[in-house]
Chain A
Amino acid sequence: MAETKPVLMQGNEACAEGAISAGVRFYAGYPITPSTEIAEHMAARLPDLGGVFIQMEDEIASMAAVIGASIGGMRTLTATSGPGFSLKQENLGYAIMAEIPCVVVNVQRMGPSTGVPTAPAQGDVMQARWGTHGDHPIIVFSPASVYETFYLTIAAVNLSQKLRQPVIMLLDEVIGHMREKVMIPEAGKLLVEKSSDNIPADWKPYDEKGLTPLVPFGFGHYYHVTGLFHDQYGFPTGDPTQVERALDRIHGKLEKYRDEIVLTNYIGHKEPRVVIITYGCTVRSARAVVKKAYWQNRLPVGLLSLQTIWPFPGKEVAAIAKQADVIIVPEMNMGQIVGEVERYACGNAEVVPLNRYDGEMMSPDQISELLGRWL
């Protein structure tokens, strides 16, 4: 069992530390509030670990640098916020298409545009899913605490390597900036998955048969990397059969490993009448409500918190909808995840949105006030 000790840590620091624990040794980025502490922490830590920190001229170049370093065999991270996340989208699509692992952190702030740089919001949920064009697969994690930020970043790096798939850490300003007591294991005691141990003799960079590890440039294999649809060797193709097959394959990776990717947590009554479904920092407000309503007053209330928001945990939501009469979806935006919840609830439960978009955190009072209508 790993030795752990309690420390006071900020969410952004935990993200950086999680990445370092998972073997990330390359960071390229352009600082932006409220994500700046991630860059600061990586700049302070990486040189001592033999890693590389580069402050690039902008977010487009940062994303490109991260992709380049990944093809060179590094584990990579970049962090940004709203406006910078918009700039990263094109190269993010490239990484998805070329199946290059990387982790992109977006510490969300109030938008659109430059918005309110220091205010929390959850407005980038759909951007994280559909920000880059085309029918692409994506994995998005949304931690609710400093602790979760640490461990989900490790999971993000591991999954990204294993599936050769970019993963997005969608943090809230509240989580990124708050300091909290966390138990952090000593270095070297964590599970860090390696993807490139067994390279088959007939290795192809984009093997039709399924997952193949990425062999970094300079390790004896020559291949082509492109954002165009490509054949098994990476060379461009427009052949309809190959195009369809390629798209099926990159989506199939996520379906095959769904159970490792989709993380949710349910607390509360076994036969709930009202269930709150939420993610990110809003989970904290919801948990305060459920603690009081269920643990103290034994009301038929539950909370499904989503650590993974994309791929959407449809199966879990569908199961909840069959049990509950009402599903409340609190979000710090004008309603983004609620549409997905509705889709999977299939009319089995009434889905009620609860939105806050004034740049303040959702309060427990707001949730319990709404909850009171059905109890």
Chain B
Amino acid sequence: MSNRQEILLTGAGGQGLILASIVLAEAAVNDNKNVVQTQSYGPEARGGASMAGVIIDVDTIEYPKVTKPSVLLCMNQASFNKYIPKVEPGCTIIVDSTFVSGPYREDYKINALPITQAAREQLGREVVANMLALGAINAATGLVDREIFRESIFKLAPKGSGELNQKAFDLGYRLYNEGMGQNLGISSQTPQ
């Protein structure tokens, strides 16, 4: 069961989290893994809280819902407040510091990265923040082979935006690696 990876993507409706979960799931299928993707339905789609779950396993996946996330992404303050108490300390946590200001607890390893800000400033498009987040997640966890992931993004992106989305994905990698290298964005170093 240790092969089972449960990824929870949370934030606000409109941030592209459900699309991100589908892209992640598709990439995992292309990487020959078993995968189940679920999402919250309802008024969430119109601006409220949004949540999507992806389970990746080499074994067959029975129960399809995320219960113990091994990866958590929080794209806004509300989701950060809601989901942080629900995960165990071993969980890989990535938060978008553009919208989340903490408090970052010492007992959790939280990677606070300026995801949306970087998408806006370096790529000129905020909408690709979701692909940037996927890049950061994959850099942190190696869930899916990087090249397969990039190809899947290209295939799923709307016509003409494949390269932009791939760039966002690569920027996510860079953001995560730089954050790690300079000890930036790690919870204990981040001022509250």
Contacts and interface: CB of A to CB of B under 8 A. Distances in A.
A241 to B, nearest CB: 53
B117 to A, nearest CB: 30
Contacts of B32: 6
B62 A179 contact: no
Interface stretch (B35-43, B97-105, B125-133): B35-43
A8 B35 contact: yes
Interface in B50-64: 61-64
B41 A178 contact: no
Given A8-B22, A179-B22, A361 B35 contact: no
Contacts of A7: 29
A288 B37 contact: no
A291 interface: yes
Contacts, number: 57
A118 B44 CA distance: 11
B25 interface: yes
B38 A181 contact: no
Contacts of B36: 178-181
B122 interface: no
B41 A34 contact: yes
B67 interface: yes
Given A7-B29, A8-B29, A363-B67, A177 B62 contact: no
B6 interface: no
Interface string A136-180: 000000000000000000000000000000000000001001111
Contacts of A8: 22, 25-26, 29, 35, 37
Interface in B61-96: 61-65, 67
Interface residues of B, number: 21
Interface in A196-251: none
A284 B29 CA distance: 20
Contacts of B65: 361, 363
Contacts of A181: 28-29, 33-36
Interface string A1-45: 000001110000000000000000000000001100000000000
A179 B37 contact: yes
A118 B38 CA distance: 13
Nearest to B54: A179
Nearest to B62: A288
B62 A285 contact: yes
A180 B62 contact: no
Contact of A291 (B22, B37, B41, B62): B62
Contacts of A284: 62-64
A364 interface: yes
Contact of B63 (A117, A177, A288): A288
Contacts of A33: 41
A118 B43 CA distance: 9
A177 B38 contact: yes
Given A8-B26, A179-B25, A364 B63 contact: yes
B38 A178 contact: yes
Contacts of A291: 62
B37 A178 contact: yes
Contacts of B35: 8, 179-181
B176 to A, nearest CB: 25
A202 to B, nearest CB: 52
Nearest to A281: B64
Nearest to A362: B63
A287 interface: yes
Contacts of B33: 181
A285 B65 CA distance: 10
Contacts of B26: 8
Contact of A177 (B25, B29, B34, B41): B41
A284 B55 CA distance: 14
Nearest to B36: A180
Interface in B1-40: 22, 25-26, 28-29, 32-39
Interface centre among A180, A281, A285, A363 (most CB of B within 10 A): A180
Nearest to B41: A118
Interface string A113-124: 000011000000
Nearest to B27: A8
Nearest to A296: B1
13 contacts: A7-B29, A8-B22, A8-B29, A177-B38, A178-B36, A178-B64, A179-B25, A179-B37, A180-B36, A181-B28, A181-B35, A291-B62, A363-B65
Given A118-B41, A179-B36, 13 more contacts: A8-B29, A117-B42, A118-B42, A178-B36, A178-B38, A179-B25, A180-B37, A180-B61, A181-B33, A181-B35, A288-B62, A363-B63, A363-B67
The 7 closest A-B pairs by CB, nearest first: A288-B62, A179-B37, A118-B41, A118-B42, A288-B63, A287-B62, A8-B29
